[in-house]
Amino acid sequence: MSVCNIAAALPRLAAEAPDRIAMRCPGGRGRGGFAAYDVSLSYRELDRRSDAIAAGLARTGIVRGTRTVVMVRPSPEFFLLMFALFKAGAVPVLVDPGIEKKALKQCLREAEPQAFIGIPLAQAARLLLRWARSAKIVVTAGKRWFWGGHTLAEVEAAGRDAGPQLADTAPDDVAAILFTSGSTGVPKGVVYRHRHFVAQIELLREAFGIGAGGVDLPTFPPFALFDPALGLESVIPDMDPTRPARANPDRLHDAIARFGVDQLFGSPALMRVLANAGRPLPTLKRVTSAGAPVPADVVATMRRLLPEDASFWTPYGATECLPVAVIEGRELEATRAMTETGAGTCVGRPVSPNLVRLIAITDAPLPDWSDSLVVGAPSGAMLSPSSHALPPIVGEITVAGPTVTDAYFNRPQATAAAKIRERLADGSERIVHRMGDLGWFDEQGRLWFCGRKSQRVRAAGGDLYTEQAEPIFNTHPDVARSALVGVGAAGAQRPVLCVELRPGVGKDQHGRIVQELLKMASGHVHTGGIEQVLIHPRFPVDIRHNAKIGREKLAAWAAKRVPAVAAREAGTWEDRDHR
């Protein structure tokens, strides 16, 4: 059996193009305060040094199957470590360090790691906050202080003469545990098997037409791990990856121009930064944005800044399975009018060989698949909202395919709630993943996203869906973004619209804006029952992409204010304690 491992591409690429640059990192500061990019790794160096680290880790006890927390900033050390762990057959555990500290501690406890690799700050936090107490092997990427263990430099030196390293991992062997962003609750550890990573490489290559030799600017570090396997050069951006909305566009443009970057990945928040900068991006041929729906105005602006023949892709998926469906910017722009009148956000057509189907909305676990569950599929010729016939059926989106993961680590209840076993005609079984998202299919076989199932408003008059309602209000010239939340018991919730206004809108305008939004709400089927508007100074968003709105937090905030709002003639309430 051939080795199934994302790191298996490195020896081949090192042999074919040993001196080709695999990765450039910001390094020190150069002229004008821009990153010097004086740190780079060729494919030969990435392969040989990750071999040495893999061999050195084995001497510390980090071997095949060892669950290993990695808390290292995007740097050569991070990528060398990750490929070394893959080569060793160890299981890296990745958790966003920016999440709430209590949730982070819980994630690390659930993962039951046997080893902890981190920068000195992470090691100090491990001791002070009692993180990952099960980890007995400690490696520090940097200077070791009072906590003992090994340094990464010592590990690499110990394995320098060991030669090639690549465990004979099988497709079903566990490759990594990647925690979700936790945007709708405590993050869950997604169990990735080696076949999932290998399948993702192939689906990404086919879906976006990626060929070897390109130059990528991946502003979400884990995605940079795909670049070497795709034969791309990675230019690690000079930014805090946990704060893409605060990225400096001048630094991004400097890197893009200096190295001829022709493809870029970023969250919608990062796209907003580039769109607001308004500077052309003449070298880019492919831009990909994921993590949340990309606002229509950002798509339109980015397309104007890109060359005419460039593509702007917005893949749909999740940590549990990616990509599920894709849509290109031109088609997304063509659907903008439908989005702004309540259709939801078009996320395109399923990526082959994924099988995407809709099931009836329920919060109950579904242990076994039945055809009776299906309420929609691409071939079902669903009717569009513009049709005068029956409205489309909205259901929960499910996907079966080669990148679909089958479990959450140490979360049997979460696994039962999200996974369905489907028996096939040949007697075999496959896992169907419930996305936890709601959507519908149009007559062209395109999937439309209507919002998270857990965030639907369950009003007495029927359910309302966030991504059908909010884009309607986002067309108001003074609204930066809106969020529909429910207050009260499920089945009798009061729909409340929370609004974040554009910079510079004065408080003296709030009353007028609220009344205009209420008038908009009264005239649309997807916003029926909204009688209260709350103005919030700054929405909470997820740590990973700075794009997903924390509607659960907004709902709790709104619940404290709705009674007060009802007592006020203006129908609005200024937030004085939104933290």
Distances (CA, A) of 531 to 344, 428, 468, 479, 498: 21, 52, 17, 17, 11
C-alpha count within 13 angstroms, C-beta hemisphere, residue 28: 3
Give residue 544's Cα distance to chain centre.
Answer: 7
pLDDT reported for residue 532? 94
SS3 state of residue 434: strand
- Rounded Cα distance between 138 and 125, Å, is 13
pLDDT reported for residue 545? 62
Q: Is pTM beyond 0.85 here?
A: yes
pLDDT string in tens for the chain (579-residue length): 578 999 999 999 999 999 999 999 998 998 888 999 999 999 999 999 999 999 999 999 999 999 999 999 988 999 999 999 999 999 999 998 878 888 999 999 999 999 999 999 999 999 999 999 999 999 999 999 989 999 999 999 999 999 999 999 999 999 999 999 877 677 999 999 999 999 999 999 888 888 888 999 998 877 888 998 888 999 999 998 888 889 999 999 999 999 999 999 999 999 999 999 999 999 999 999 988 888 888 999 999 999 999 999 999 999 999 999 999 999 999 999 999 999 999 999 999 999 999 999 999 999 999 988 999 888 643 433 443 344 678 999 999 999 999 999 999 999 999 999 999 999 999 999 999 999 999 999 999 999 999 999 999 989 999 999 999 999 999 999 999 999 999 999 999 999 999 999 999 999 999 999 999 998 788 887 899 999 999 999 876 666 789 999 999 999 999 865 443 434 444 444 333
pLDDT reported for residue 99? 82
Dump the DSSP string for 231-263.
TPEEE--SS-TT-GGG--HHHHHHHHHHHT--E
Q: What angle do CA 224, 271, 339 make, to 5 degrees?
A: 120
- Rounded Cα distance between 25 and 266, Å, is 17
Full set of structural domains in the chain with CATH: 6-235 (3.40.50.980), 325-453 (2.30.38.10), 459-566 (3.30.300.30)
- Rounded Cα distance between 105 and 155, Å, is 27
> At 470, which helix (H) or strand (E)?
helix 466-473
For residue 192, list its beta bridge partners.
176
> Residue type at 525?
V
pLDDT reported for residue 72? 95
> At 41, which helix (H) or strand (E)?
strand 39-42
C-alpha count within 13 angstroms, C-beta hemisphere, residue 203: 24
Q: What angle do CA 298, 441, 299 make, to 5 degrees?
A: 5
pLDDT reported for residue 1? 52
